[in-house]
Amino acid sequence: MNRIADIIKQGESEVLEFKGAFGKEVIETAVAFANTRGGMILIGVNDQGLVVGQSFGKEVLRDYVNRIAVATEPSVIPDAERILMPEGEVLLLSVPEFPLKPIATRGRCYRRAGSTTRQMTPSEIAEMHMHSTGSSMDAVVVQGKSKGDINLEGVLGYMHQATAQGRRSFSGKEDPWQVLMKLELVKSEHEITRAAILLFGENPQSPLTQAVVHAGRLREKVHIMDNRIIDGSLIAQVEETVEFIKKNMHVRFEMTGAPQRKEIWDYPLAALREAVVNAICHRDYGDTADIQIKIFEDALQVWSPGFLPYNMKVRELLDPEHASKPRNKLIAQIFYDVGLIERYGSGIHRILEFCREAGLPEPMFENFSGGFRIKFMLPEQNGELQQSSGGALNGALNGALNGALNGDVLRIIDELPGIQRKMIVEKLKIPERSVDRYIAELIYEGKIERRGSKKTGGYFACT
């Protein structure tokens, strides 16, 4: 009894759900727990954490477990326990994380996002299945492609570059086709993976026309001053994209006494290059959107389709020791071999270091509008707490402040259902873009949602 009371005090979370009675929502939550990290469902406890006074018999207990097993595929069979509380009985269902995902009920898959259960998109379903089987999205065989669609000269160039980097050791006599076979980029002359086409295809955008970078420079957020679609192989896209950014950025020169002047760009080129590499290497190539780079007068953002890879959160990404979970394993390996990636999982940390060394604010990292966005900002445009190079204390304060403000946004929405963005800005007195960031994060975590029309609608806390 005391154990259940302690669990209830924790409140609903990614691994705990309260339900007043058994229904289809219990089955959906069981599916979500099995697809995420496992969890517990307390039946007989309402949303406010109060025991409602239910009474469960042994047959009821057995019936609930059976109904969950029958309604799920593959079958989820939770452990069930009946606990007597002073106010009534509580049924505890413990659902383990399932090894082979995703689990479905009535043809739909669910996962946990914070303390809510949400339906998964087709892209998330495919990625989850690939992850649980040890494969990746770029290993999918492209129909209608054969050996003739591969540029073997490009493969030879890769072999030379990887050898020069010291990350592979290819001899000049090796057959490039056999190299692709060993790297599992092709399986036979008529089984060509998506990665092989994107990296070494004669026409990398066939059939994946979305595998491009759309870059542009904008003035006053709306006037397009320069615009370009960058296509070709993924490796070539990196260099061409960086060149476009350089062309559309300000640069000043500093005399250091050395034979050559020192170039000072708006943002460190090494950080921008890392952001571009991450976007091209880790994007969701099953999504029909292209990578979008927008260069404003006061900011530069890199957006790529697809949220963070399976089961990873932004706060985990910012940990220098976070585990690497590449969405596209084959592409990531080739990028590493040719030196575009220094070390798996180190890209974000390197971006932060480059910006600190340049005296710039830390970039914004967020799941945004169906994808992942990195936003660089100039110091004079950053109204929030800034972190200078070497300012570890400022960084800690900045993280704490952002976490507190995130909670303030949630509290205001909870207290004033239907509140609009403008009112949140006025109440908290922080920049609009900060409120946008917190709202996007809370929506992704399933804590809030927007309802109503664009003009009159507002934000509501999810229950």
Task: Give residue-wise pLDDT tens across range 161-208.
Answer: 999 999 999 987 899 999 999 999 999 999 999 999 999 999 999 999
3-state class (DSSP) for residue 293? strand
pLDDT of residue 390: 40
* Sequence-separated (6 or more) residues with CB below 8 Å from residue 12: 18, 47, 115
DSSP letter for 361, please: P
Phi and psi for 199 in degrees, rounded to 5? -90, -40
3-state class (DSSP) for residue 258? coil
Burial of residue 55, with CB atoms counted within 10 A of its CB: 0-12 exposed, 13-18 middle, 19 or more buried: exposed
The amino acid at 289: A
3-state class (DSSP) for residue 113? strand
Task: Report the C-alpha gap between 376 and 452 in whole angstroms.
Answer: 32
Count Cβ neighbours within 10 Å for each residue of 322-361 and write b for 16 or more, e otherwise.
beebbbbbbbbbbbbbbebbeeebebbbbbbbbbbebebb
Please give the distance of CA 24 from its chain centroid, rounded to a whole number: 29
pLDDT of residue 311: 65
Phi and psi for 13 in degrees, rounded to 5? -155, -170
Residue located via tokens 């413990």: 94
pTM: 0.68
* Sequence-separated (6 or more) residues with CB below 8 Å from residue 128: 35, 101, 102, 109, 111, 120, 310
3-state class (DSSP) for residue 422? helix
pLDDT tens, N- to C-terminus, the chain (463 residues):
678 889 999 999 999 999 999 999 999 999 999 999 899 999 999 999 999 988 888 789 899 999 999 999 999 999 999 999 989 899 999 999 998 899 999 999 999 988 899 999 887 888 888 877 777 889 999 999 999 999 999 999 999 999 999 999 998 789 999 999 999 999 999 999 999 999 999 999 999 999 999 999 998 777 788 999 999 999 999 999 999 999 999 887 766 666 666 788 999 999 999 999 999 999 999 888 999 999 998 999 999 998 887 667 787 777 777 777 788 999 999 999 999 998 766 888 899 999 999 999 999 999 888 899 999 999 854 444 333 334 444 444 444 445 556 678 888 888 888 898 888 888 877 777 677 777 877 776 778 888 877 677 888 888 6
The amino acid at 153: E
The amino acid at 286: G
pLDDT of residue 444: 66
The amino acid at 387: Q
What are the residue ranges of helices labelled H in 248-328?
A: 269-282, 314-317
pLDDT of residue 261: 67
DSSP one-letter string for 235-251:
HHHHHHHHHHHHHTS-E
What are the residue ranges of helices labelled H in 85-139?
A: 122-132
- Helix or strand holding residue 337 (H, E): helix 329-337
- For residue 127, how many other CB atoms are within 10 A of its CB? 24
Token pair listed for 130: 């690939």
pLDDT of residue 395: 45
Task: Report the C-alpha gap between 366 and 126 in whole angstroms.
Answer: 22
pLDDT of residue 337: 96
Task: Report the C-alpha gap between 379 and 299 in whole angstroms.
Answer: 10
pLDDT of residue 431: 73
pLDDT of residue 258: 63
Radius of gyration of the chain (CA): 25
CATH numbers and ranges of domains, the chain? 2-120 (3.30.950.30), 213-325+339-381 (3.30.565.60), 392-461 (1.10.10.10)
3-state class (DSSP) for residue 53? coil
3-state class (DSSP) for residue 45? strand
pLDDT of residue 387: 38
Count Cβ neighbours within 10 Å for each residue of 90-119 and write b for 16 or more, e otherwise.
bbbbebeebeebbbbbeeebbbbbbbbbbe
Task: Report the C-alpha gap between 331 and 93 in whole angstroms.
Answer: 41
